[in-house]
Amino acid sequence: MDRGRIQFSRYILTLLAFILLTLVAGYFHLTNGAFDMSVLDVIKTLLRIDPNPKFDLVIFQFRLPRIIIASLVGIGLGMAGTVIQGITRNGLADPGILGINAGAGAAIVAFMFFFQMSGVTFFKESWFSILAMPLFGFVGGLAAVVIIFIFSWRNGALDMQRLILTGIAISSGFGALSLYLSLKMNASDYEMAAVWSVGSIYSANWTYIIMITPWVLILGFVMYRKSYLLNYFQLEDSSTKSLGISVEKEKLIFLLCSVGIVSVCVSVSGSIGFIGLMAPHIARRLVGINHRYIMLSSAVVGMFLLVISDYFAKTLFQPAELPVGIVVSIIGIPYFLYLLAKSRV
């Protein structure tokens, strides 16, 4: 069997394995919690066999939307992380470290603040809210990227060390802005913004799913179709241009898609870091260096990581619940330090 066929087999096996792992995690998510349910209860409720109003409420209003949102956000952050690492040629880059999460988060907190919406009314099925939140996040994320690139551009190329340092500074600045605005809110709004800012999907609902699904599907499809270009971006820009590829134009498309998908994820889940860092690295170890394979593999790895993290966030300290962003950070910070130490070897 030739090498290409072996890589393709590993790619398919990786996709199937992580989809199966996500389904298993989703099963535990559905059946466990403050209100435990049996497998038979879940199956009968989903298939509408002798429906029970209590089971309907738990599954369709709380647990199933939460699993779907975690899956979509994990897919989006995993794909965005692959793109950002690819276009910067930096394995330590991700949307959180580069400040995209913080920029999008600050813009959405500003949206909450200026429209003075309470935690009870803010997430009602208002089409204005559905459309405005990701657009505000997109503007904030794009602003963060523009500032970072301005300060990181040297001699016609990105300086990777300046990129990371500027990203950390911008992330801190936007984080401070978010905190300032949230402190100006009333008590109910502040509580919502504080929990949301560290990353939380426990208030997921079908309105969120309506909002996020088209963004993830459309932008994810564009990034996947163009993912082969990320292989060429690992070369020097002069070599890539000699192949007839418009480097600046394609990088801009990738960047806008990444900012868009991260912004919509932030708008429904808050700022969840490290998924965009870990998922591409895990995918690369499993399927090799072909970005066509890495893109979808990173998506399913990110999906699994966030679903299982949210399950642990929900169940570890019952009846209290951790924001999922904290659980992801507990895993992600040591992993980032490991990658940082490894890069110096």
> Which CATH number fits the domain that encloses residue 278?
1.10.3470.10
Residue 176 φ then ψ, to 5°? -65, -40
| pLDDT at residue 342 greater than cutoff 50 | yes
| pLDDT at residue 75 greater than cutoff 60 | yes
Task: Check if the beta carbon of residue 204 is closer than 8 Å to that of residue 267.
Answer: no
Residue 318 φ then ψ, to 5°? -55, 140
Tokens linked to 130: 């559905």
pLDDT computed for residue 116 by the predictor: 59
pLDDT computed for residue 123 by the predictor: 45
Of 174, 184, 93, 188, the C-alpha closest to 141 is 174
- 69 pLDDT band (50/70/90 cuts)? very high
Counting the structural domains of the chain, the total is 1
> Model confidence over 239-288: pLDDT tens digits?
877 888 888 888 889 988 998 999 889 888 888 888 999 999 999 999 98
> Model confidence over 14-65: pLDDT tens digits?
999 999 999 999 999 998 877 778 888 888 888 888 888 888 888 888 899 9
What is the C-alpha to C-alpha distance for residues 208 and 124, in angstroms, rounded to an integer?
A: 10
Tokens linked to 326: 């904290």
Which range of 76-80, 100-104, 111-115, 205-209 scores highest in mean pLDDT? It is 76-80
pLDDT computed for residue 124 by the predictor: 44
Q: Say which residues have a Cβ less than 8 Å from residue 132's Cβ, sequence separation at least 6.
A: 111
| pLDDT at residue 144 greater than cutoff 60 | yes
pLDDT computed for residue 126 by the predictor: 59
Lowest mean pLDDT among 187-196, 224-233, 327-336: 187-196
**Residues spanned by the domain of 324:** 3-344
pTM of the model: 0.90
For 306-318, the DSSP string reads HHHHHHHHHHTTT
Tokens linked to 55: 């089971």
pLDDT computed for residue 190 by the predictor: 76
